[in-house]
Structure 1
Amino acid sequence: MKTKKIYFLVCLLFASAAYAGGYRVSVQGNKQLAMGHAGVAVISSAESLFFNPAAMSFLDGNLNVSLGVSGVFSNVAFQNADLGISTTTDGSIGTPLYGYGSYKINDWLSVGLAIYTPYGSKVAWPTDWAGSHLVNNIELQSIFIQPTVSIKLSQHLSIGGGPIYAIGSVNFNRNLSRTLANTEGERTNVTIDASGITAWGYNVGLLFRPSTKLNIGLNYRSEILVEADGGEADFENVPSALPGDFSDTTFDATLPLPAELTVGLSYQVTNKVLLAIDFNRAYWNVYEALDVQFNNSAGLSQNPRNYENASTYRFGLQYTANQRFVLRGGFYFDESPIQDGFYAPETPRNDSVGFTGGFTININSRLAVDASFLYLRFAEVDNSYDFFSDGSSFGGTYKSNAFIPGIGLSYKL
């Protein structure tokens, strides 16, 4: 095969989502996830370090800590009725984590630290399946570390923000073509591996409280340029008679993680009922293509993506039953940034709807247990990827869903 057929894909996304490919699932806090992941204008716990760092200034108590983990149980089915092909992924489990802590130095200044995993997934198709020339398996991991400061400008207004230090790794395998194999019949494939990838960004927010019942929030997370320098590319089962340089090599690539803008409000309808609404815009149009420079005679590999900007609409309710129990529910609609003809099986997702719920049990005035669940249903999609280097197209019908329970602890002092 020509080495430009090496198709690195979108793996350095560490990912959606479900928000835009690769299962970047929104699970950055059990309280807010239970409310449809709406939280830019909600003041409840140290989860605010992710949703809107400006809200730290209005948290109760001097010390707030939130810890949590979720289990991502996802399933993707592919079918091409014309070719008589059907298969599913192996249903691998992901475990995104978060840890937030904030400390109020005085009435107008608060500091905090956030550690969370916004991108990360594991997708494994059967080895040598019909789409193996695009992907066999992919495993992505990431950790974001965010020191944060919040300043209360008045009783009605606060600002906050901090830098984001991102650390990630990726391991990805695919076959080099639809049919290429060695003399033993073993399919020729390449594994791409990169670890210790680092990048910088920032997270800033503003919170306006015009009344004791109404909060209005704004949060902006910057674009992050992910640069993989000196990653490893390992070729296996290459036919000895095949011309060209198929020796193991290294590669360099740069990929933008898009900026996000979230605006929203929360309203205390009654003493027991809180309503929250968020609108999120992810600027995926920066992701036009993934260019990979192989550090041997393979040269430059160009892989078009042509993503478009996408929005998410989030709605949540919180009901305080009594001093011990708090109930939550919500849903969100998440647009896919993937355009027709660019649908690849390493990011098998389309527009989706998430249904959420959860509760808090207050053990005492300081410690609480938070639980949440998310059922994520993707719209069935019949689409294809039309830009493989030999000019061929691969497509069919994809059906996918995910169930994501979560558990955590909140502490305040």
Structure 2
Amino acid sequence: MKQKYLPLLIAVALSSLSASALASGYRFGSQSVAAQGTADANAAEANDASTIFYNPAGMSRLEGTQVNFGATVVVPHSTFQDSGSTHFTGAPTGGTAAHGYAPDNVTAPSLYASKKLNDQWAVGLGLFVPYGAKLNYGNTWTGRYALTDVKLEAVTLNPSASFKLNEHHAFGFGIMAEHFNADLGQAVDVPGSIAALSSPAAAATRAQLIGTIVALGGNPAALAAANDAHASITGKDWGYGFNLGYMFTLDQNTRFGFAYRSSVAHGLKGDATWDFSMVTTDQITNHVLAASGHRLNSASMVKLRTPETLSANVFHQFDAKWDGMADLTWSRHSRLSDLHIQFPNTVEGDLVINQQWKNTVRVAVGANYRYDDKVTLRGGVAYDQSPVPSAQLRDPALPDSDRYQFSLGAAYKLSPKSTIDVAYSFLHFKDADTSYTNSCNPLNPTCTGNGETTRGTYKTHLQLLGVAYNYKF
């Protein structure tokens, strides 16, 4: 039935949207290679046009016209060790118990441009990928009834402007237009449902199912060797929001910044497609199984608002060689506690999913070292909390946990007008246990999932490799 798999689309969307704030959740990619080199501690530095993302007030410090374009490759390394995943019946799900689910590498490009109009005003435009992921657990892993695969792609367009009041105060603002696509898959627990029909309490239901198969000319004996069915979900949406920035320049060596990125309203619309063709060798039996479970291709929709973020940062130049910087970012994930899923043009009520996510904090510190007139070296460390509060709420679409980031970077001046930035980051996630349960019985026509429990431990680390080019006109 169409309700069962929409929650997967929402879970995946949320895990990605949290990344758009460079806070917690699945944080893929980087919005700036220079920032990545300091573990994103340099929001108050405002060294190039990527300040449009971190603090648009920083454009007041940029001269002339500047462009910045780059790309960051994310290389995930993740393994899952099963510790007793079960069907809704309590029987083991079977399948692969220990494996690397091998997410594909993800490349996140970015493009920024700024122009100083006069001594007070500057304008700019940012185009970046706030999140993107490819996870492929395969169709035979123990948690396949929760998720088999997912692909996420997002693009944000962020026109911005800054106003410099005087030598100490500058303000910035921008508009966000955010588009994302989501594709995912999940196994349908046909074997578990057939096994449950073998109980004495379900004898009448089983007899009715067999009678229908026989009446249509099918072979009920095929039920004994039934395989999983599969569901595929797609969804897309545009959402809009805004960001604000303020920068206080104490003197030529010290400045402080504050930035706010609003929540974004989304009305996610998608389609659910069901494939029962491989469940048995008898297509009539497959058709009856699909119809009896109300598996109908249909549309679905959910309205949600993503978490807003608030950041405070500082930059200080100690001497001709050294700069120090720090950033503290708070994300309001608690607004994602309840999700109300709607089914347009049906008589069904909302489906409510309780995420119980918590607010999170990310703290980063970094430094620049000017080796000579052409080479600047960078480094930084960060600690990032996860919004997932417990193993019971850790969905396979977001096997997230608190993480540490260690970054190194460098900038090389090709000419007085052009610079190349490179960066490398290593993100270590704490081992993450899961005992996620979808508490329902698939035999119930109003059921909202497979009723599985996924138990196991995730071990994850990421590597990020970034390169960018800056040019000043």
- Alignment match, 2:374: 324
**Cα displacement string for residues 18-47 of structure 1 (whole angstroms, at most 9, x for unaligned residues):** 7433x2335110111101111221121101
**Cα displacement string for residues 234-274 of structure 1 (whole angstroms, at most 9, x for unaligned residues):** 01117433324212101111232210001010111111111
- The answer to whether the Cα contact below 8 Å between 2:84 and 2:455 also exists between their aligned partners in 1 is no
- The answer to whether the Cα contact below 8 Å between 1:4 and 1:298 also exists between their aligned partners in 2 is no
- The answer to whether the Cα contact below 8 Å between 1:217 and 1:263 also exists between their aligned partners in 2 is yes
For 1:216-227, list aligned pairs within 5 A: 216-227=256-267
Q: Which amino acid aligns with 1:367?
A: S
- Alignment match, 1:112: 124
Q: Tell me how far apart the structure 2 counterparts of residues 155 and 271 of structure 1 sit (CA, whole Å).
A: 22
Q: Tell me how far apart the structure 1 counterparts of residues 48 and 325 of structure 2 sit (CA, whole Å).
A: 15
For 1:258-273, list aligned pairs within 5 A: 258-273=307-322
Among 392, 396, 410, which residue is 1:359 paired with? 410
Pair 1:136-2:152 in alignment: no
Among 457, 460, 472, which residue is 1:397 paired with? 457
Among 193, 199, 213, which residue is 2:239 paired with? 199
Among 25, 30, 34, which residue is 1:31 paired with? 34
For 1:73-88, list aligned pairs within 5 A: 73-81=75-83, 85-88=97-100
**Cα displacement string for residues 40-77 of structure 1 (whole angstroms, at most 9, x for unaligned residues):** 21121101001100010012x21111101011110221
- Alignment match, 1:294: 343
TM-score (norm 1): 0.93
Among 372, 395, 400, which residue is 1:344 paired with? 395
- Alignment match, 2:229: 188
- The answer to whether the Cα contact below 8 Å between 2:242 and 2:262 also exists between their aligned partners in 1 is yes
**Cα displacement string for residues 296-326 of structure 1 (whole angstroms, at most 9, x for unaligned residues):** 5776433321110001001110011111101
Structure ranking higher in helix proportion: 2
Gaps of 5+ in 1: none
Q: Aligned residue pairs: how many?
A: 408
**Cα displacement string for residues 345-401 of structure 1 (whole angstroms, at most 9, x for unaligned residues):** 111120000100110110000011110111111001223213443455322111001
TM-score (norm 2): 0.82
Among 283, 300, 320, which residue is 1:251 paired with? 300
- The answer to whether the Cα contact below 8 Å between 2:244 and 2:259 also exists between their aligned partners in 1 is yes
Gaps of 5+ in 2: 86-95, 195-221, 280-285, 442-450
Among 273, 289, 302, which residue is 1:234 paired with? 273
1:142 is displaced (CA, Å) by: 0.7
**More displaced 10-residue stretch of structure 1: 289-298 or 28-37:** 289-298
Name the CA shift for 1:179/1:268 in 2 (closer, same or farther; >3 Å).
Answer: farther
- The answer to whether the Cα contact below 8 Å between 2:133 and 2:152 also exists between their aligned partners in 1 is yes
1:289 is displaced (CA, Å) by: 3.0
**More displaced 10-residue stretch of structure 1: 231-240 or 30-39:** 231-240
- The answer to whether the Cα contact below 8 Å between 1:111 and 1:148 also exists between their aligned partners in 2 is yes
Name the CA shift for 1:388/1:121 in 2 (closer, same or farther; >3 Å).
Answer: farther
Tell me, what secondary structure is at the counterpart of 1:31? helix
Name the CA shift for 1:178/1:156 in 2 (closer, same or farther; >3 Å).
Answer: farther
Q: Tell me how far apart the structure 1 counterparts of residues 459 and 347 of structure 2 sit (CA, whole Å).
A: 39
- The answer to whether the Cα contact below 8 Å between 2:146 and 2:452 also exists between their aligned partners in 1 is no
**Cα displacement string for residues 78-108 of structure 1 (whole angstroms, at most 9, x for unaligned residues):** 1124579212212301111110100000011
Q: Tell me how far apart the structure 2 counterparts of residues 241 and 393 of structure 1 sit (CA, whole Å).
A: 27
Structure ranking higher in strand proportion: 1
Among 250, 271, 275, which residue is 2:324 paired with? 275
RMSD, aligned CA: 2.0
- Alignment match, 2:254: 214
Q: Which amino acid aligns with 2:12?
A: C
- Alignment match, 1:162: 174
For 1:171-182, list aligned pairs within 5 A: 171-177=183-189, 179=191
**Cα displacement string for residues 106-159 of structure 1 (whole angstroms, at most 9, x for unaligned residues):** 011000000011121111112131111111011111110011010000011100
Q: Tell me how far apart the structure 2 counterparts of residues 26 and 157 of structure 1 sit (CA, whole Å).
A: 31
- The answer to whether the Cα contact below 8 Å between 1:281 and 1:311 also exists between their aligned partners in 2 is yes
- Alignment match, 2:5: 6
Larger radius of gyration: 2
Q: Which amino acid aligns with 2:371?
A: A
- The answer to whether the Cα contact below 8 Å between 1:4 and 1:389 also exists between their aligned partners in 2 is no
- Alignment match, 2:446: none
- The answer to whether the Cα contact below 8 Å between 1:307 and 1:338 also exists between their aligned partners in 2 is yes
